[in-house]
A and B are shown apart, each in its own frame.
Chain A
Amino acid sequence: MNVELLTLSEVEEFSGNEGNFSVRIKKNPRYVDMDKCIACGLCMQKCPRKVDDEFNMGVGKRKAAYIKYGQSVPLKYAIDAEHCIYLTRGKCRACEKFCPTGAINFEDREKHLSIDVGAVILAPGFHPFDPSGFDFYGYGRITDVVTSLEYERMLSASGPCMGHLIRPSDHTEPKKIAWLQCVGSRSTNRCKNGYCSSVCCMYAIKQAVVTAEHLNEGIPQQTIFFMDIRSHGKDFERYYETAAAKGIRFVRARPHTILAGKNNMGVTMQYTAEDGRMHCEDFDLAVLSIGLEAPEDGPVLAAKFGIELNSYGFAQTTDFEPVRSTRPGIFVTGAFQAPKDIPQAVTEASTAACEAARALMPARGALTHEKTYPAEQDVTSQEPVIGVFVCSCGINIASVVDVDAVAQYARTLPHVGFVENNLFTCSADTQSLIAEKIREHHLNRVVIAACTPRTHEPLFQDTLREAGLNGFLVEMANIRNHNAWVHQALPEAATQKAKDQVRMAVARVAQNDPLRQLKVDVVQKALVIGGGVAGMNAALALADQGFDCVLLEKSDRLGGNARRLAATDRGQKVAPMLTRLIERTESHARIKVLKKAVLRSAVGSVGNFVSKIEVDGDTRAVTYGTAVVATGAAEYQPREYLYGQDERIMTHLQFDDQLAQNEAAVGRARSSVFIQCVGSREPQRPYCSRLCCTHSVKNALRLKTLNPEMNVYILYRDIRTYGEREDLYKSARDLGVIFIRYGLDSQPVVSRKGDDLFVEVFDPVAQLPLKLYADYLVLAAAVVPHDHQALVELFKCGVNADGFLNEAHPKLRPVDMSVDGLFVAGLCHYPKPMDESIAQARAAASRAGLILAKEEMQLDAIKSYVTENCDGCALCVDVCPYRAIKLEQEKIDGRSHIVTDPALCKGCGLCAATCPKEGVYVHGFTLPQLKAQVEALLAEATA
């Protein structure tokens, strides 16, 4: 309602300053009237023009009258002017003839709109790398070489192969498939993409894993050719390990040539293994793991909006302001900012929303609307009078189902007071007609026999509310998606099924009661737990949006781990930023900082939490509506590699301290050795700590700059300098830092001989054991989570197998926790560098701000409730996944009973299904309601 979706639109002109921009937008013609289109698809069926389908990456065809994909939003067809026969050659108009609603409008012209906005968020995405320019991969020439995005569409159940994998050349199932990593990434010879695209390792593993599900016969052989596997995200390493355990072959090599197989079927590939031996192998299909490039129109956008791009064409940002462009009021997010995976893109989208909200804080609510409805009439004492509206949906339903017969039949059903057949029940004029009929015939229940409630129920609920009825007194019978469309050849059976569906809906709606959406008052204050960079950023972002915050810090000073860091990955100095951050946090009028503070208790739910907090020995109570958890993490204290027995052996943070205090002395060293993955990617801690590779590379670079003569060795398992951090890795190699790979089964050995420190390791490229002298040995120690036990018990939130706090959903809700009203940011969620911590903290503030922006919160109406049958057997208490049920110990009428917390309940009904005596129901889905539906069906059903 407060979103204006402008499709087929481009920004033409842009001017103004932060807070007040003027934009001119060109809206290209769709040639389909969005108000009239009902997405029946007839125009597409009748359109004679076939075009390569760009959504399916050119695998398969679409028509010139099209929707992008089945679940497209808006679900409205469009005509592609470039290919439409009428628009290019002046003849045809077939779609216009067949469109049942007259929605086709060839008179449509491009429109120009002017809008004023206070801020802009640019999220134009990425451009998939086009490998046609690389002759050695043969893409475009060899039929069985496809890109990963094409492969993705080949796998998709809604794709051109219907989810059944066949190779392009002979349409047989491929048995032996190869993935080639880093196509168009980490490459400066043939293209200019020196960065790592960050996502290809993981998507290739995913594709290899799911391939087996898309084949009918035989077990496929999947091989991934890679340079470094970069599974640095949360739960990614485990995914990689599982894939390897399932038999997916990982080969460390970069094949240099792909040749076509016999008759241009399959491929032949030559590659050099790590030990230097040449191999030649045949595959049925080769998938190129193409990288993410900056969008093609990036430079145009940048010029239009007056922002700067970096050397790779991505938007220029800084580590401390990760979504802020070089122009105030314009924010950049998603893959346009840097190549990134979905969780990161979703998180940083919220970050951008937070920044825009911060900039426009005084104007919050100025241009948004809330709809008002007339008072609801009380129908509880009335006999049901049901109105049935049967939709023809043009000919979508009516061409299969005899809608007149269905309408006629509906008149015979109990309680039905009015029946009508509409051409389009969802049209705007039918809405006013329904409201009219409700008043005229005193209807108090409505059945809509049309399409799916998943898309249309809100519309009809709204219509009822506008007519003064409770929105829950409508029921839909899905006689289109679940009937007419899937039984096209069986009109009689379909008509019978439609009658059954209407009968079931009528029986059920007669049982429907008005439901209330509970409202709870929101305490307009946030609690932020943890005073590190993430916690302070979250608190400031909330405070700048106008919300009060309480910030808890367990130690006696703010700053957390950042106090020990010198510079960010892009070389920005941390200390000055941290000083400013602490100053702002401590002086902000809306932030109350509590040091030496520990959370002791937490009760309540979203909107209303109460906690006891112990501050330096005193206990006080704090009420708050939402909380951001940013408790941080610690550096692993190694037990391996003689750590603690020699002062020349240090962890990263210790070495940073050393460099800060004693740079000159460190610079005099002859040889320094870094060992990666100390405590990470091992059986007892099987996750990647994400930031240590870059940390080591950065420090190695610093040593080489201090003293170019120094020998610097990095002993690694995979170098994971993802994204633009890859530039650092390349500089390090250029400056002569020596990288030696080791395996989990051939770990380095540290020894002392007299006063000298040595590291022994086997070099897999030279195939020789090496003994390295070390003045300094730096251990890239893991990031380990704090013990979250107390927090988990207080808030009933969850941790993953590694002990990091869990998000509600890794992609859809990456900063929300599974408990409503709680948000997570920083290292306590997963190891991450500072820019990502800052972004996540501000994203958490955006999400928390959504709750605080409302004075009261409306809860969903579909919730469990306790009936008088409950006798407190408590079987339901344990099954509730949301811990929304408590056993009330005190007894009423000699019985104990349960109570449900509607703020926690999600209406899943596990309790209702578990209860042996109907002691708990779910609103709208009570046993009597479901029984009424079942009985109505079985009273006279014949299939």
Chain B
Amino acid sequence: MPEDFEPVIIGFLCNWCAYAGGDLAGVSRLQYPPNMRAVRVMCSGMVHPDIVVHALQKGADGALVMG
């Protein structure tokens, strides 16, 4: 693995908690690495396993389901 490797992480964020937490992190100006791209869902329970597999097949380095 090259030293400058930067993973592309796809995050599935529950609208009511994880996504709101992301918003609050912004308001509080908490800094974190810019590697994650968020997909907002209405409940982390709606994330189908297929979509996670799909993301990994298409080249995502990681998938994060937060809720």
Does chain A touch chain B in the assembled complex, meaning CB atoms less than 8 Å apart?
Answer: yes
With the chains together, A494 CA to B15 CA distance in Å? 22
Ordered by A's residue number, 6 sampled pairs between the chains whose C-beta atoms are within 8 Å are A481-B25, A485-B25, A486-B30, A497-B34, A913-B47, A941-B37
Contacts of A454 in B (CB 8 A): 15, 19-20, 23
Contacts of A496 in B (CB 8 A): 34
Does A487 lie within 8 Å of B31, measured CB to CB?
yes
Does B59 lie within 8 Å of A938, measured CB to CB?
yes
Interface: A927 (CB within 8 A): yes
**Chain A CB within 10 Å — which of B6, B30, B31 has the most?**
B31
Give the Cβ gap from A444 to chain B, nearest Cβ, in Å: 22
Q: A70-B24, A913-B47 are in contact. Are A486 and B31 (CB under 8 A)?
A: yes
With the chains together, A937 CA to B7 CA distance in Å? 13
CB-CB nearest 7 A-B residue pairs: A909-B46, A481-B26, A485-B26, A908-B43, A938-B58, A943-B6, A943-B35
**Chain B CB within 10 Å — which of A489, A930, A931, A942 has the most?**
A930
Q: Which residue from chain B places its CB closest to the CB of A941 in the assembled complex?
A: B8
Interface: B39 (CB within 8 A): yes
Interface: A453 (CB within 8 A): yes
Contacts of A254 in B (CB 8 A): none
With the chains together, A892 CA to B49 CA distance in Å? 29
Task: List which A350-375 residues lie within 8 A (CB) of chain B.
Answer: none
With the chains together, A937 CA to B41 CA distance in Å? 16
Contacts of B48 in A (CB 8 A): 912-913, 915, 927, 930
Q: Is the contact region of chain A dominated by helix, strand, or loop, or is it mixed? A: helix
Give the Cβ gap from A40 to chain B, nearest Cβ, in Å: 10
Contacts of A927 in B (CB 8 A): 48, 50-51
Seen from chain B, the residues whose Cβ lies within 8 Å of a Cβ on chain A are 6-10, 15, 19-20, 22-32, 34-35, 37-43, 45-51, 54-55, 58-60
Give the Cβ gap from A771 to chain B, nearest Cβ, in Å: 59
Q: Which of B22, B31, B40 sits near A489, CB closer than 8 Å? A: B31
Interface: A684 (CB within 8 A): no
Does B38 lie within 8 Å of A482, measured CB to CB?
yes
A-B contact count (CB 8 A): 124
Q: Is the contact region of chain B dominated by helix, strand, or loop, or is it mixed? A: mixed
Does B29 lie within 8 Å of A485, measured CB to CB?
yes
Contacts of A62 in B (CB 8 A): none
Contacts of B35 in A (CB 8 A): 943
Does B34 lie within 8 Å of A942, measured CB to CB?
no
Q: Which residue from chain B places its CB closest to the CB of A881 in the assembled complex?
A: B45
With the chains together, A452 CA to B29 CA distance in Å? 14
With the chains together, A501 CA to B45 CA distance in Å? 23
Q: Which residue from chain B places its CB closest to the CB of A497 in the assembled complex?
A: B34
Does B39 lie within 8 Å of A930, measured CB to CB?
yes
Interface: A726 (CB within 8 A): no
Q: Which of B10, B25, B42 sits near A486, CB closer than 8 Å? A: B25
Give the Cβ gap from B52 to chain A, nearest Cβ, in Å: 9
Does B28 lie within 8 Å of A478, measured CB to CB?
no
Contacts of A71 in B (CB 8 A): 24, 27
Q: Which residue from chain A places its CB closest to the CB of B61 in the assembled complex?
A: A943
Contacts of A941 in B (CB 8 A): 8, 37, 59
With the chains together, A483 CA to B26 CA distance in Å? 8
Contacts of A453 in B (CB 8 A): 40
Does B22 lie within 8 Å of A913, measured CB to CB?
no
Give the Cβ gap from A576 to chain B, nearest Cβ, in Å: 49
Interface: A158 (CB within 8 A): yes
Contacts of B50 in A (CB 8 A): 927
Give the Cβ gap from B22 to chain A, nearest Cβ, in Å: 5
Does B8 lie within 8 Å of A938, measured CB to CB?
yes
Q: A500-B37, A934-B58 are in contact. Are A943 and B7 (CB under 8 A)?
A: yes
Does A934 lie within 8 Å of B40, measured CB to CB?
no
Beyond A454-B15, A504-B39, A943-B8: 12 further Cβ-contacts under 8 Å? A478-B22, A480-B26, A482-B38, A486-B25, A486-B26, A909-B45, A925-B41, A927-B51, A930-B41, A934-B58, A937-B37, A942-B6
What per-residue 1/0 map shows which CB atoms of A298-310 lie under 8 Å from chain B?
A: 0000000000000
Give the Cβ gap from A474 to chain B, nearest Cβ, in Å: 13
Give the Cβ gap from A481 to chain B, nearest Cβ, in Å: 3
Give the Cβ gap from B11 to chain A, nearest Cβ, in Å: 10
What per-residue 1/0 map shows which CB atoms of A205-235 lie under 8 Å from chain B?
A: 0000000000000000000000000000000
Does B39 lie within 8 Å of A908, measured CB to CB?
no
Interface: A763 (CB within 8 A): no
Give the Cβ gap from A863 to chain B, nearest Cβ, in Å: 10
With the chains together, A859 CA to B8 CA distance in Å? 37
Q: A481-B22, A909-B43, A930-B41 are in contact. Are A70 and B51 (CB under 8 A)?
A: no
Give the Cβ gap from A161 to chain B, nearest Cβ, in Å: 14
Interface: A740 (CB within 8 A): no
With the chains together, A935 CA to B60 CA distance in Å? 10
With the chains together, A910 CA to B51 CA distance in Å? 14
Contacts of B49 in A (CB 8 A): 913
Give the Cβ gap from B4 to chain A, nearest Cβ, in Å: 11
Does B30 lie within 8 Å of A482, measured CB to CB?
no
